[in-house]
A and B are shown apart, each in its own frame.
Chain A
Amino acid sequence: MSLVNLHQVHKYYGDLHVLKGIDLDIKAGEVVSIIGKSGSGKSTLLRCINGLEEYQQGGITVDGNEVTTEDIQVRRLALSVGMIFQNFNLFPHMTVGENIMLAPTIVLKKSKAEAEEIARAMLLKVGLEEKFDSYPEKLSGGQQQRVAIARALAMSPKVLLCDEITSALDPELVGEVLKVLEQLAKEGMTLVLVTHEMNFARDVGSKVVFMHQGKVWEEGDSKTLLSDPQTDELKQFIGAVL
């Protein structure tokens, strides 16, 4: 049963045709890595899946519900789709605990005690239980990104979208974030990641999608696809990043 399904999705920014008929099917528990050159439409694809961008043709469903940008839809979608951004986007005026508790209390209407319990459990999961009362700016980039993951997890999403979430980090901090993702993958979380971490895509990912010029150029099992690319474009891309 597919959790996220895209059918012939077309997206334009004005005259710019950014997504040119995307078909994609993601099943619960899959870890899908989206790779491709800058400008190939990877971020746009993720943003269409969670309703941040509208698309002009085709259809997207998440857990059987159609995705539109209509506000209520986006909010309902927020319950099943979590998203993590390249530059964390933690709320600077709230403590780590408040960041995580906010949506469970005001969106899911959980009690404060319940939300706090969830927040502490999620922080434990990302290994930052002692940072509950700290403010984001006092944390390293890697820690901030782990808090962002905890914040998304607190809404118990069915799928987590990650847009280059290690790209803004110092190299020595990338590992701690990838470790958290790997743990989530093991627990069966569905992950869709735009990433440049080829090793991660190969070792942890179940599927790789190579995007080129707004199309899904090549896709398949991660180990097979990366070791035996079929198209020249993917061969070239892999040659360039490795």
Chain B
Amino acid sequence: MLYFSDLLQYSDTFLSGLRTTVELTVLTTILGVALGTTCAAIRQYGNTVSQRVVASYVELIRNTPFIVQLFFIFFGLPAIGMKLSPWEASIIALTINLGAYSTEIIRAGLGSISKGQVEAAKVLGLTFRQTLFRIIFIPAFEKIYPALVSQCIIVMLGSAVISQISVADLTYAANLVQSRNFRAFESYLVTALLYLGLSIILRFVLDAIGKRLFAYRAIK
């Protein structure tokens, strides 16, 4: 027998967990993509030293487990005097993680912009900064947007790990509820469906943003 009605009394717990996961996702998606964009620009256009620094960061993050990165930030950093709340540690870990993966994705986009575009901007008198923001970014993001959206969703789902350092996110709520009423099947099924819903909504929102940014493809 299944007892989904047993979950009803915990709906507040689920809702608050959902809310935490949503807040964390919104914040880290914005921060992570901003970090990734900055690093990708450095990787593509920066000097050799800064390129190396960024490359090392990307490789370090992409070749270590997320949970270890999180534990290092939360449990490890206090040893050198950086004490962070679970919430702060989670934001930082997720941002750094998305930042590294999106660096590689966004760099591929920057690489797809022809030299001619940059030269055309230069001979019109634009500064490099103006060229980057006005000429390069939008077509570059258009090229890699689906991959970037997928990566944001992967990171959102991966955020479940932060329940391990007692951030009261959706997964934390599921663990809590099933430890109280022992309805593991029901708790995790509902949680899975909530994550599925979040993925669908996040993709929908990001696609809508993309449609606006790249509207020029559709018009006329």
Contact = CB atoms under 8 A, between A and B. Distances in A.
A83 interface: yes
B216 interface: yes
Given A71-B128, A87-B116, A93 B123 contact: no
B164 interface: no
A89 B120 contact: yes
A150 to B, nearest CB: 12
A50 to B, nearest CB: 6
Contacts of A103: 124-126
Given A89-B116, A94-B216, A50 B135 contact: no
A155 interface: yes
A71 B126 contact: no
A89 B117 contact: yes
A151 B124 CA distance: 9
B216 A71 contact: no
B122 interface: yes
A92 interface: yes
Contacts of B128: 71
Contacts of B116: 85, 87, 89
A106 B126 contact: yes
B123 A83 contact: yes
Q: Which of B120, B126, B135, B142 has the most CB of A within 10 A?
A: B120
Q: Which of B114, B124, B135, B142 has the most CB of A within 10 A?
A: B124
B127 interface: yes
B134 interface: yes
A198 interface: no
B61 interface: no
Contacts of A82: 123
A85 B120 contact: yes
A40 B156 CA distance: 56
A93 B138 contact: yes
Contact of A74 (B120, B122, B220): B122
A78 interface: yes
A93 B125 contact: no
Interface in A21-60: 50, 52
Given A102-B134, A135-B220, A71 B127 contact: yes
A189 B45 CA distance: 36
A107 interface: yes
A94 B134 CA distance: 10
A75 B127 contact: yes
Nearest to A78: B125
A81 interface: yes
A121 interface: no
A79 interface: yes
A81 B220 contact: no
Interface in A66-120: 71, 74-76, 78-79, 81-83, 85, 87, 89-95, 102-103, 106-108
Interface of B: 114, 116-117, 119-128, 130, 134-135, 138-139, 142, 214, 216, 219-220
10 contacts: A75-B126, A83-B120, A83-B123, A91-B117, A91-B139, A92-B139, A93-B142, A103-B126, A134-B220, A135-B216
